Amino acid sequence: GENVEQHPSTLSVQEGDSAVIKCTYSDSASNYFPWYKQELGKRPQLIIDIRSNVGEKKDQRIAVTLNKTAKHFSLHITETQPEDSAVYFCAVTQGAQKLVFGQGTRLTINP
Amino acid sequence: GAVVSQHPSWVICKSGTSVKIECRSLDFQATTMFWYRQFPKQSLMLMATSNEGSKATYEQGVEKDKFLINHASLTLSTLTVTSAHPEDSSFYICSAVRGESGANVLTFGAGSRLTVL
């Protein structure tokens, strides 16, 4: 089955700096790559997603890049703010809309 | 927007009892729902895929007789943890998919925190 690896597991950056989280996957047939933000005790919230026919997508301070050949995709957060502190999960489809999640990255923004 | 309601948000039960968790799509029909389990500081692990009108598909290692799933209508899926034990204590989250084909956007419920004493 699909194997998703997410790095780093923890990330601490100064407010205003950029944060980058990377995920690799194994199934070349995967075609949908969302990123979720989860605050403690709450549901995951979709923050951005990308499909396999696109290489990059941006939404204000958040961007996602996809390299299908290398089978990896990354989340980029610029001008980080304290409210960006949370756990971030990448996910990959494994057919029929079923998502496989990465291990998660705990992002801490230091004021 | 799509709203998924999950109930109860938290439940405490004694070891050996059964607990039912409901997942409802409030403003759309969901032919498929997914049940995830999340232990503290870990990722979401898919337990099973719930299909309206048919049997659920369980992931490897998930006991179908222990985690009963019923998806009797296009807006409701239930997960029953039978004969719960302390190791079943976890955060259970459902997600629902809109009915249109090719749409991979999931909407998550708020989750149900189960504590088994």
Q: Is the pLDDT of residue B103 over 60?
A: no
Q: Is the pLDDT of residue A103 over 60?
A: yes
- At residue B54 the predicted structure's pLDDT band, cuts being 50, 70 and 90, is confident
Q: Which of A42, A45, A103 sits opposite B43 (nearest CB)?
A: A103
Residue B113 to residues B12, B15, B83, Cα–Cα distance (Å): 8, 15, 17
Sign of CA dihedral A92, A96, A97, A101: negative
Q: Is the pLDDT of residue B74 over 70?
A: yes
Instruction: Tell whether B106 is within 8 A of chain A (Cβ).
Output: yes
Closest-CA residue of chain A to B90: A41
Residue A24 to residues A4, A7, A8, A61, Cα–Cα distance (Å): 6, 9, 12, 22
Sign of CA dihedral A105, B111, A50, A63: negative
pLDDT of residue A96: 55
Sort out which chain B residues have CB atoms less than 8 A from A89's CB and list them: 43-44
CB spacing of B104 vs A43 below 8 angstroms: no
In contact, B44 and A105? CB cutoff 8 Å:
no
Instruction: Tell whether B110 is within 8 A of chain A (Cβ).
Output: yes
pLDDT of residue B111: 96
pLDDT of residue B80: 97
Q: Is the pLDDT of residue B102 over 60?
A: no
- At residue B2 the predicted structure's pLDDT band, cuts being 50, 70 and 90, is confident
Number of Cβ atoms within 10 Å of the Cβ of B31: 18
CA B30 to chain centre: 13
Q: Which of B42, B103, B106 sits opposite A99 (nearest CB)?
A: B106
pLDDT of residue B70: 92
Dump pLDDT digits (tens) for A28-41: 889 899 999 999 88
CB spacing of B43 vs A89 below 8 angstroms: yes
CB spacing of A97 vs B103 below 8 angstroms: yes
Residues B48-68 as b/e (b if ≥16 CB within 10 A, e otherwise) read bbbbbeeebbbbeebeeeebb
In contact, A4 and A99? CB cutoff 8 Å:
no
Instruction: Tell whether B35 is within 8 A of chain A (Cβ).
Output: no
In contact, A63 and A56? CB cutoff 8 Å:
yes
Closest-CA residue of chain B to A97: B104
Closest-CA residue of chain B to A86: B41
pLDDT of residue A98: 82
